[in-house]
């Protein structure tokens, strides 16, 4: 098969793989098409389900790190618990200023469990452009990776937020085990998250483990939004849980892992 020519034989050869993936693909379309806005079907609940069904499978592969679905779900639950203790509730937004690494996915999954949306900032932004992008979404808190602290410090004093300790630091390392030292003016998020007891209860009606407490996310909630000063908050990149699940694809609905590169 060449790039420009696809023969019937090529199509036939690809069919077994498509058929094997069809149940997961169909399930993904079902999740996307659900119309009940109050349905308990979110990124967080899908991570829960994968932790139960595929607990020992890798959820994330990154450099020399391999994180199973069970480990990832526990991590997300602790992040969700931390956000709740900080007073965040369903409908709030946090800004996320992290490069592509497992901590990014964990923050998004943890926030999703309590209905908090993540505004994903363009990591190439600096100065007034970055300041504008953050203030555009009025975040309660801002998660800043060590790799981007220098850029964020340039606008930190001009960020508008009502939280008493709004700036969260994540070291540029495996923060599940190594917390690093937060600079002055930042809360060490990894240290705080590690202190959280993963409070879980068994939902007897659906038979799965869920984060305890109120404020659970719902199907219609905003999950992720991408922010860039050039376009503001573009409707095409504001993802509710249905679109976010569709974007994540088979990794969520079939328990496949994500290889971060």
pLDDT at 12: 66
pLDDT at 133 > cutoff 50: yes
Q: What is the pLDDT of residues 135-163, one digit of tens each?
A: 999 999 999 999 999 999 999 999 999 99
CATH number of 8-259: 3.40.50.980
- Tokens 């959280």 correspond to 196
Q: What is the SS3 assignment for 201?
A: strand
Decide: 203 and 216 in contact? Cβ < 8 Å. Answer: no
Tell me the H-state helices in the chain: 8-33, 43-53, 69-85, 102-113, 127-136, 149-153, 189-194, 241-248, 250-253
Answer whether 60's CB lies under 8 Å from 260's CB. yes
Residue 85, SS3 per DSSP: helix
Q: What is the pLDDT of residue 175?
A: 96
Residue ranges of domains in the chain: 8-259
- Report in angstroms the alpha-carbon separations of 68 from 28, 112, 196, 258: 21, 19, 19, 10
Residue 217 has pLDDT above 60, yes or no: no
Phi, psi of 210 (to 5 degrees): -135, 160
Strand partners, 200: 211
Mean pLDDT of the chain: 76
The answer to whether the pTM exceeds 0.85 is no
How many CA atoms lie less than 13 Å away from 95 in the CB half-sphere?
Answer: 29
Residues 153-206 have pLDDT tens digits of: 999 999 999 999 999 999 999 999 999 999 999 999 999 999 887 654 444 344
End-to-end CA distance of the chain: 27
Q: Which residue's structure tokens are 């969700």?
A: 80
CA 10/CA 8 separation, integer angstroms: 5
């Amino acid at each position: 098969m060449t790039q420009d020519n696809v023969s019937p034989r090529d199509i036939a050869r690809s069919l077994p793989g498509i058929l094997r993936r069809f149940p997961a693909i169909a399930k993904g379309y079902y999740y996307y098409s659900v119309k009940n806005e109050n349905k308990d079907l979110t990124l967080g609940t899908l991570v829960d389900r994968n932790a139960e069904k595929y607990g020992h499978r890798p959820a994330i592969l990154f450099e020399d790190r391999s994180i199973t679905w069970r480990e990832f779900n526990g991590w997300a639950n602790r992040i969700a618990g931390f956000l709740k203790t900080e007073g965040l509730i369903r409908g709030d937004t946090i800004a996320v200023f992290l490069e592509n690494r497992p901590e990014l996915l964990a923050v998004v999954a943890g926030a999703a469990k309590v209905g908090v949306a993540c505004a994903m900032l363009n990591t190439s932004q600096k100065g007034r452009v970055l300041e504008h992008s953050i203030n555009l979404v009025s975040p309660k808190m801002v998660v800043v990776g060590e790799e981007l602290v220098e850029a964020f410090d340039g606008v930190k004093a001009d960020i508008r937020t009502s939280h008493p300790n709004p700036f969260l630091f994540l070291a540029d390392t495996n923060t599940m085990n190594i917390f690093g030292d937060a600079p002055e003016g930042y809360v060490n998020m990894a240290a705080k998250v590690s202190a959280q007891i993963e409070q879980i209860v068994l939902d007897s009606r659906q038979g799965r483990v869920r984060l305890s407490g109120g404020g659970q996310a719902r199907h219609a909630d905003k999950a992720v939004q991408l922010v860039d000063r050039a376009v503001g908050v573009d409707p095409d990149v504001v993802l509710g849980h249905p679109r976010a699940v569709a974007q994540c694809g088979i990794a969520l609905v079939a328990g496949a892992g994500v290889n971060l590169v």
